């Protein structure tokens, strides 16, 4: 079967808001050209999958025929052989060791940290004060992941450093994935910033890992679990280098993504008063003024729908896979080494799966309507053996923080100052200004 070739080219360079937005439009428009569309990125031939059921086939049914692709090669200097970048039997072994750290009962413990971090954040708010919401969301996410990983927490300086460096790494990593390899070696500011951010993160993480190893005490945090984890077959633990790679992966994978979803949650609540009113009513009924716990999460049904809708509207732009052998996808024979792209953003804005896709409508997630959403159409956390290990953790963090805020406060958009959006790895808010108003 012949594969249609993308009409036009993916605009690679240029960082004005218009150019960046154009890239998102381009990838969303590809669904009009076919279920699988060929795009040539310089010398790299890629296959862009637009059809949800083929994305499901790629990630789940035929997941074992693929490994991570060119995008993740670009993150190798940062994540090394961590969970997000490793492949094959090594990845399966590491995933078996890391997953228990994210089981429900562990997340229930981290939920206490989440509730405390949310309470600390809001305790500093004063009525009428204007907050930069994405900054609050990011500092909360760094604190929560940092404390879950390293229980005693990092120093303020490290927390700030991790937040800043993480953003630089993600932004530059994505630019690299779409650019020819020689661009990485040019003396560009972006390349210098990327290298410096990787180095700063490496120093912080290795210091913590070595310190922990010397103490050798189980503190009940994620790092202790990783330090004690042993392969079921060989009984071997992880080296410092492997621990560094896993910790780095969890820090970078867990901070920016969650902070983003949290900031957009406040944005949507702020501009949809009826949705906000329903969230307040539910939070009052379920929590009755006490602080949220893990066991409450399932009871905050409408707030979970709001979070699903945020994850639908503001997901990662694109992800990639590489075929490890010739494989058929939807009748298209892909050769070994074929680079495959799919876009959660484009899938989540496909009007066939989500009518009126630009409308924020948490009721899409009511049980009767949600059951009609096609398989593969909603993949904020990916799917299959490479799906997000932190999905329960992330949802708990967003719901607990949103519920803590909703119990006492409203965040109201500052008139005439709409948040600007930077379209990089995902749609990033920039200066999302909101006024803190106590609930009457
Ligand atoms: C709203 C928040 C989050 C979103 C939207 C998100 C999204 C994703 C996605 C889409 C993937 C799959 C990538 C692919 O298929 O190529 C992924 C994988 C991963 N995520 Fe998350 N994530 C979030 C939070 C977290 C958190 C809190 C952690 C940990 C603290 C985490 C750790 C990871 C790891 C380690 C992987 C790699 C899993 C593997 O390949 O085995 N994520 N995430």
Q: What was the pLDDT predicted at 16?
A: 55
Q: What was the pLDDT predicted at 320?
A: 93
How many angstroms is it from 18 CA to the middle of ligand 1?
28
Q: What was the pLDDT predicted at 233?
A: 81
In a domain, 3, yes or no: no
In angstroms, the CA 286 to CA 111 distance is: 17
Structure tokens at 322: 């590489």
User: Does 390 sit in the ligand 1 pocket, CB within 6 Å?
Assistant: yes
Structure tokens at 347: 């899938």
If one compares 4 and 283, the residue with the highest pLDDT of the two is 283
Q: What was the pLDDT predicted at 2?
A: 72
CB atoms within 10 A of CB 300: 23
| CA 371 to each of CA 309, 346, 377: distance values in angstroms, whole numbers, following the listed order | 15, 20, 12
User: Does 138 sit in the ligand 1 pocket, CB within 6 Å?
Assistant: no
Residues 6+ apart with CB under 8 A from 205: 244, 247, 248, 251
User: Does 146 sit in the ligand 1 pocket, CB within 6 Å?
Assistant: no
Mean pLDDT of 232-238: 84
Q: What is the pLDDT of residues 292-317, one digit of tens each?
A: 999 999 999 999 999 999 999 999 99
| Per-residue pLDDT at 173 exceeds 80 | no
Q: Using the 8-state DSSP alphabet, how is residue 183 labeled?
A: G
Q: 185 in helix, strand or coil?
A: helix
Counted domains in the chain: 1
Query: Among 13-27, 197-211, 362-376, whose mean pLDDT is lowest?
Result: 13-27
Q: What is the pLDDT of residues 361-382, one digit of tens each?
A: 999 999 999 999 999 999 999 9
Ligand 1 atom nearest to 68, measured from its CA: 16
CATH label of the domain that carries residue 313: 1.10.630.10
In a domain, 255, yes or no: yes
Q: How confident is the model at residue 188 (pLDDT cuts 50, 70, 90)?
A: confident
Q: Find tokens 């428009």 and name the residue.
A: 29
In a domain, 354, yes or no: yes
Q: Is the C-alpha dihedral spanning 326, 374, 51, 249 positive or negative?
A: negative
Q: How confident is the model at residue 17 (pLDDT cuts 50, 70, 90)?
A: low
Structure tokens at 84: 């997000």
Which residue, 185, 167, 187, is CA-closest to 176? 185
Q: What was the pLDDT predicted at 218?
A: 78
Count of CA atoms in the C-beta half-sphere (13 A) of 431: 5
Name the residue of 162, 307, 390, 398 whose CB sits within 8 Å of the most ligand 1 atoms, as the mutation to test its pocket.
Answer: 390
Residues 6+ apart with CB under 8 A from 165: 197, 198, 200, 201
Nearest CA to ligand 1 atom 15: 382
In a domain, 434, yes or no: yes
Q: Which residues of 364-384 are buried (b: 16+ CB within 10 A; e: fewer)?
A: bbeeeeeeeeeebbbbbbbbb
CA–centroid distance for 403 within its chain: 20
CA dihedral 169, 171, 177, 181 (to 10 degrees): -70
Nearest CA to ligand 1 atom 17: 388
In a domain, 5, yes or no: no
Structure tokens at 142: 């760094």
Q: What was the pLDDT predicted at 10?
A: 62
pLDDT mean across residues, the chain: 89
Structure tokens at 144: 């929560």
How many angstroms is it from 394 CA to the middle of ligand 1?
9
Q: Where are the beta strands (DSSP E) in 119-166?
A: 130-132
Mean pLDDT of 221-239: 84
In a domain, 10, yes or no: no
CB atoms within 10 A of CB 391: 15
Range of the domain at 100: 17-438
Q: Find tokens 């803190």 and name the residue.
A: 436
| Per-residue pLDDT at 215 exceeds 90 | no
Q: What was the pLDDT predicted at 328?
A: 96
| % of the chain surpassing 90 pLDDT | 56
Nearest CA to ligand 1 atom 20: 388
Structure tokens at 277: 């009113």
Query: Among 77-86, 333-342, 379-388, whose mean pLDDT is lowest?
Result: 77-86
Element (H, E) at 427: strand 427-430
Q: How confident is the model at residue 152 (pLDDT cuts 50, 70, 90)?
A: low
Q: What is the pLDDT of residues 62-78, one digit of tens each?
A: 999 999 988 788 778 88
| Per-residue pLDDT at 23 exceeds 90 | no
Q: What was the pLDDT predicted at 209?
A: 84
Burial class (CB in 10 A: 0-12, 13-18, 19+), 119: middle
Q: What was the pLDDT predicted at 19?
A: 62
In angstroms, the CA 183 to CA 421 distance is: 26
Structure tokens at 406: 């909703």
Element (H, E) at 348: helix 344-348
Structure tokens at 107: 């997340």
User: Does 294 sit in the ligand 1 pocket, CB within 6 Å?
Assistant: no
In angstroms, the CA 314 to CA 309 distance is: 9
How many angstroms is it from 113 CA to the middle of ligand 1?
20
How many angstroms is it from 250 CA to the middle of ligand 1?
8
Q: 74 in helix, strand or coil?
A: coil
User: Does 382 sit in the ligand 1 pocket, CB within 6 Å?
Assistant: yes
How many angstroms is it from 435 CA to the middle of ligand 1?
31
In a domain, 4, yes or no: no
Q: What was the pLDDT predicted at 154?
A: 63
Q: Find tokens 């009721």 and name the residue.
A: 363
| Greatest mean pLDDT range, 134-143, 212-221, 402-411 | 402-411
In a domain, 12, yes or no: no
Contact (CB, 8 A) for 252 and 169: yes
Q: What was the pLDDT predicted at 224?
A: 85
Q: What was the pLDDT predicted at 137?
A: 93
In angstroms, the CA 63 to CA 55 distance is: 10
Q: What was the pLDDT predicted at 12?
A: 53
Q: What are phi and psi of 247, to 5 degrees?
A: -65, -45
Q: What is the pLDDT of residues 105-129, one digit of tens each?
A: 889 989 999 999 999 999 989 999 9
Q: What is the pLDDT of residues 237-284, one digit of tens each?
A: 888 889 989 988 998 889 889 999 999 999 999 999 999 999 999 999
In angstroms, the CA 113 to CA 123 distance is: 15
Contact (CB, 8 A) for 246 and 226: yes
| Per-residue pLDDT at 191 exceeds 90 | no
Mean pLDDT of 176-194: 78
Ligand 1 atom nearest to 383, measured from its CA: 15
In angstroms, the CA 38 to CA 25 distance is: 17
């Amino acid at each position: 079967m012949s594969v249609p070739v993308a009409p036009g080219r993916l605009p690679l360079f240029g960082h004005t808001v218009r150019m960046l937005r154009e890239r998102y439009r381009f990838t969303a428009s590809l669904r009009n050209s076919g279920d699988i569309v060929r795009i040539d990125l310089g010398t790299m031939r890629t296959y862009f999958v637009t059809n949800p059921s083929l994305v499901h086939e790629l990630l789940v049914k035929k997941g074992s025929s693929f490994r991570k692709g060119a995008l993740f090669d670009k993150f190798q200097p940062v994540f090394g052989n961590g969970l997000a970048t490793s492949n094959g039997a090594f990845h399966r072994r590491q995933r078996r060791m890391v997953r228990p750290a994210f089981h429900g009962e562990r997340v229930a413990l981290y939920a206490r940290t989440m509730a405390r971090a949310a309470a600390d954040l809001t305790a500093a708010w004063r009525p009428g004060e204007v907050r930069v919401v994405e900054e609050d969301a990011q500092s909360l996410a760094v604190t929560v992941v940092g404390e879950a990983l390293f229980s005693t927490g990092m120093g303020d300086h490290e927390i700030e450093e991790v937040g800043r460096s993480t953003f630089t790494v993600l932004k530059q990593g994505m630019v690299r994935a779409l650019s020819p390899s020689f661009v990485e070696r040019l003396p560009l500011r972006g390349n210098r910033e990327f290298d410096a951010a990787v180095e700063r993160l490496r120093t912080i993480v290795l210091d913590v890992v070595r310190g922990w190893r010397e103490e050798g005490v189980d503190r009940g945090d994620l790092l202790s679990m990783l330090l004690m984890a042993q392969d079921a077959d060989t009984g071997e633990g992880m080296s410092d280098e492997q621990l560094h790679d896993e910790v780095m992966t969890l820090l970078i994978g867990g901070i920016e993504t969650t902070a983003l979803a949290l900031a957009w949650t406040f944005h949507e609540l702020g501009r949809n008063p009826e949705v906000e009113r329903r969230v307040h009513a539910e939070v009052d009924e379920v929590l009755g003024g006490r602080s949220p716990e893990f066991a409450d999460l399932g009871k905050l049904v409408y707030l979970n729908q709001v979070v699903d809708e945020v994850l639908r509207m503001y997901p990662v732009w694109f992800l990639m896979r590489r075929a490890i052998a010739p494989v058929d996808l939807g009748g298209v024979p892909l050769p070994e080494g074929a680079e495959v792209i799919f876009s959660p953003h484009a899938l989540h804005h496909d009007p066939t799966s989500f009518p009126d896709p630009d409308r924020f409508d948490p009721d899409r997630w009511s049980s009767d309507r949600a059951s009609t959403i096609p398989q593969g159409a909603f993949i904020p956390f990916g799917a299959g053996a490479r799906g997000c290990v932190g999905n329960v953790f992330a949802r708990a963090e967003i719901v607990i923080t949103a519920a803590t805020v909703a119990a006492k406060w409203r965040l109201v958009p500052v008139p005439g100052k709409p948040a600007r959006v930077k379209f990089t790895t995902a749609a990033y808010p920039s200066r999302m200004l909101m006024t803190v108003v106590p609930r009457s």
